Amino acid sequence: MKLHRPSNRHLIFALALLVLPFVIDALFGHGWVRIADFALLYIMLALGLNIVVGYAGLLDLGYIAFFAVGAYTYALLGSPQFGLHWPLWVVLPICALSACFFGVLLGAPTLRLRGDYLAIVTLGFGEIIRIFLNNLNAPVNITNGPQGISGIDPLRIGEFSFSRTHELFGVEFSSVHLHYYLFFAFTLLIIFISLRLQHSRIGRAWMAIREDEVAANAMGINTRNIKLLAFAMGAMFGGISGGLFAGFQGFVSPESFSLMESVMVLCMVVLGGMGNVSGVVLGGVLLVILPELFRNGAGPVQQALFGKILIDPESLRMLMFGLALILVMIWRPAGLWPSTQRRRELMPSEEVALQEQGTVYDATK
């Protein structure tokens, strides 16, 4: 029910995460720290989608649209496109709010839809946003069309720019390291919000809607408002992540927000364990790191085994990805790390079963 007080175990874990970028840097090189940064962005996205899909049970296949809205909001307010260079602490809340607005915009007309129907409408919504971004360069050039927006302001707080190397406490922090800490802080914030919401009156209402909307409504839950709230909160996390992405990348274009990305984020949620924050984080980490490993590893391995590259690593990557998903769905349908509640639930009944077995054996003696 409550967030636990930090124990030694947690402190060690937190410390490990703080030195992680340096460990990665030393072991695997700079590129992997950048991948870790992306992993954190994806975790934020997955946690946002987890509110909509995991908590409230509303299947959203166009979630990346909110990421896009956040990214483009940041890009438009902090780039030469309109000559605006607003500070981060103004832009990021606007990213969150505009994504929130689009969340409600999507939520309102789909309130009556469930399951497959909702999935199709959200899928359409995701595509509409992408196509808009692709075509809003005429008659008035807003998004610069398929070329995207470049020269986006780096993430900067006052005079402290995250895109430059800084020396702090005698240690040199390069750009990717600094972004890691920034994203890490935001991820922690989003995890905190997710956990607090999960164990609250609102969280229970979301879960009640997921389990049985009719019964939830009959028990006095205003399903319309509570569902809109889920859409808005989920979209908000997506918007924040999108804003950070734009600042980190320095460039956004519509092709970063394809359907495949929505599916990827959904996979993180489903694979990790719907509705369980730790599971979703695990799903995010795995689905960013494994494909990267594969991208780097598949070529050389084939070369060594067969002397030539038989299957293009890129397509092999998707193939293995599909296979992994199928295997997980067969053996761990609740996800790799399902909620503790279910595990707690299994404990006593197993004990009871054991006891019962014991008495049966006694009787036969």
Partner 1 sequence: MTQQSDVLLKLSGVAKHFGGLAALSAVSLHIQRGEIYGLIGPNGAGKTTLFNIITGLYQLDSGSFTFNGQAYARSKPHVLAQAGIARTFQNIRLFANMTALENVMVGRHLRTHAGIWGALSHNRSAREEEQAIAERAHELLRYVGIHRPSNTLAKNLSYGEQRRLEIARALATEPKLLALDEPAAGMNATETESLKELMKKIRETGVTVLLIEHDVKLIMGLCDRVAVLDYGKKIAEGVPELVRNNPAVIAAYLGGDADIPQDEHDLEIES
Q: Which residues lie closer than 8 Å to 322 by C-beta, 6 or more apart? A: none
Contacts (CB under 8 A) with partner 1, residues 48-67 = none
User: Of 51, 71, 182, 216, which lies in the binding site for partner 1, with binding defined by CB under 8 A?
Assistant: 216
Question: By C-beta, is 4 or 308 nearer to partner 1?
Answer: 4
120 SS3 class = helix
3-state secondary structure (DSSP) of residue 119: helix
Q: Does 246 bind partner 1 (CB under 8 A)?
A: no
AA identity, residue 140: V
Pick 108 or 311: Cβ nearer partner 1: 108
Contact 248, 37 (CB under 8 A): yes
Q: According to the binding rule CB under 8 A, does residue 101 interact with partner 1? A: no
Nearer of residues 122 and 198 to partner 1, judged by Cβ: 198
Least distance from partner 1 to the Cβ atom of residue 105, Å: 19
The footprint of partner 1 on this chain (CB under 8 A) covers a number of residues equal to 31
The reply to whether 27 sits near partner 1 by the rule CB under 8 A is: no
Region from 25-33, 61-69, 200-208, 312-320 binding partner 1, contact rule CB under 8 A? 200-208
202 binds partner 1 (CB under 8 A): yes
> CB within 8 A of 90, min separation 6: which ones?
77
Based on CB atoms, which residue is closest to partner 1, 76 or 229?
A: 229
Question: For residue 7, is it left (φ>0), alpha (ψ between -120 and 50) or beta?
Answer: beta
CB 48 within 8 A of CB 66: yes
Least distance in Å: CB of 62 to partner 1? 24
Residue 314 engages partner 1 in binding (rule: CB under 8 A): no
Shortest distance (Å) from residue 2 CB to partner 1: 9
Phi and psi dihedrals of 162, rounded to 5? -80, -10
CB 183 within 8 A of CB 37: yes
| Interaction of residue 90 with partner 1, rule CB under 8 A | no
Q: Does the protein bind partner 1 through residue 348 (CB under 8 A)? A: yes
The mark string for 104-133 relative to partner 1 (x by CB under 8 A, - otherwise) is ------------------------------
d(CA 22, CA 177): 8
Contact residue for partner 1 among 5, 201, 308, 365 (CB under 8 A): 201
Q: What is the pairing mode between strands 156-157 and 149-150?
A: unpaired
Nearer to partner 1, 149 or 232 (CB): 232
171-173 vs 84-85, strand pairing mode: unpaired
Among 140, 170, 171, 349, binds partner 1 (CB under 8 A): 349
Region near partner 1 per CB under 8 A, out of 27-35, 220-228, 237-245, 264-272: 220-228
Nearer to partner 1, 174 or 217 (CB): 217
Contact 66, 238 (CB under 8 A): yes
Give the DSSP letter string of 228-240: HHHHHHHHHHHHH
Per-residue DSSP letter, 248:
H
Alpha-carbon distance of 78 to 87, in angstroms, equals 8
- Nearer CB in complex with partner 1: 212/255: 212
Asked if residues 240 and 190 have their Cβ atoms less than 8 Å apart, the reply is yes
Beta carbon of residue 9, minimum distance to partner 1 (angstroms, whole number) = 23
Which chain residues interact with partner 1 by CB under 8 A?
A: 193, 196-197, 200-205, 207-208, 211-212, 214-223, 229, 233, 341-342, 344-345, 348-349
